[in-house]
């Protein structure tokens, strides 16, 4: 444990002008017990990865929060119940400004991400997972129906969906809803890293739309709105 805290102190003590790549050299890895690809996991291995997320999410939010603070972004007010929009807008601007320099074609592929250990030369995937966790917690803390869970839908597995057997944010089906709402936030965040050339990523804040639709109840509104409502 001492080594982890030492690395964290070195990370947050880097000068304000340090590159994001330099800060990530000391970034504590998101050390889920089983690397992918997910198609090779047993259900027990997938559940162990979910357990890691649930057991370490506060620690991971602190790790990312310290990195963001060094980058000039304060996450705590939004996590503590304040307006989430300024934080997500700041994350969007930060990704536009700082992530392109992290893009490494040798690891910036879907296959490399899905089999990544998220450490050493692939430490960027730890940061990306933590950003996904942060976005998810902004939702969970405002819409308690959502929870971190595994995508165990067998149809998704047969169809080769990337979410299958991975931790995702879910709103379980209830009432007239035919199926759960599944938000693969890690996929959404990683896609931003994999494709810095997409102009839509720079112009549109997809993260803000996802959080807004989840927090407002937009994803389930078609089934939960009162009969005759707008």
**Phi, psi values for residue 26, rounded to 5°:** -110, 15
Q: What is the mean pLDDT of the chain?
A: 88
Pairwise pLDDT comparison (226 vs 63), residue with the higher score: 63
- Given a cut of 90, is residue 46 above it in pLDDT? yes
pLDDT at 208 over 80: yes
- pLDDT above 90: residue 33: yes
pLDDT tens, residue by residue, 184-206: 999 999 999 999 988 888 889 99
Distance (Å, rounded) from C-alpha 114 to C-alpha 112? 6
Question: Is residue 76 a contact partner of residue 68, using CB atoms and an 8 Å limit?
Answer: no
* Residue closest to 208 by CA, chosen among 85, 96, 36: 85
Mean pLDDT for 49-61 is: 98
161-190, pLDDT tens digit by residue? 887 889 999 999 877 778 889 999 999 999
12/150 Cα distance (integer angstroms): 33
């Amino acid at each position: 444990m001492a080594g982890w805290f030492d690395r964290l102190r070195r990370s947050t003590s880097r000068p304000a002008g340090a590159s994001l790549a330099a800060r990530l050299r000391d970034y504590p890895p998101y050390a889920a017990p089983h690397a992918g690809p997910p198609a090779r996991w047993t259900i027990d291995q997938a559940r162990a990865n979910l357990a890691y997320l649930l057991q370490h999410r506060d620690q991971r939010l602190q790790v990312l929060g310290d990195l963001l603070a060094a980058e000039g972004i304060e996450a705590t007010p939004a996590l503590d119940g304040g307006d989430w929009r300024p934080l997500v807008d700041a994350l969007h601007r930060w990704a536009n400004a700082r992530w392109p320099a992290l893009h490494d074609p040798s690891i910036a592929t879907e296959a490399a991400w899905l089999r990544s250990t998220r450490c050493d030369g692939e430490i960027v995937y730890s940061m990306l997972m933590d950003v996904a966790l942060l976005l998810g917690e902004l939702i969970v803390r405002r819409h308690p129906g959502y929870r971190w869970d595994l995508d165990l839908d067998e149809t998704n597995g047969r169809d080769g969906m990337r979410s299958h057997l991975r931790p995702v944010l879910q709103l379980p089906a209830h009432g007239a809803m035919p199926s759960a709402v599944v938000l693969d936030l890690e996929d959404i965040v990683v896609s931003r890293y994999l494709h810095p050339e997409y102009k839509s990523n720079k112009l549109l804040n997809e993260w803000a739309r996802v959080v807004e639709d989840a927090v407002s109840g937009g994803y389930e509104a078609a089934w939960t709105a009162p009969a005759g409502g707008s």
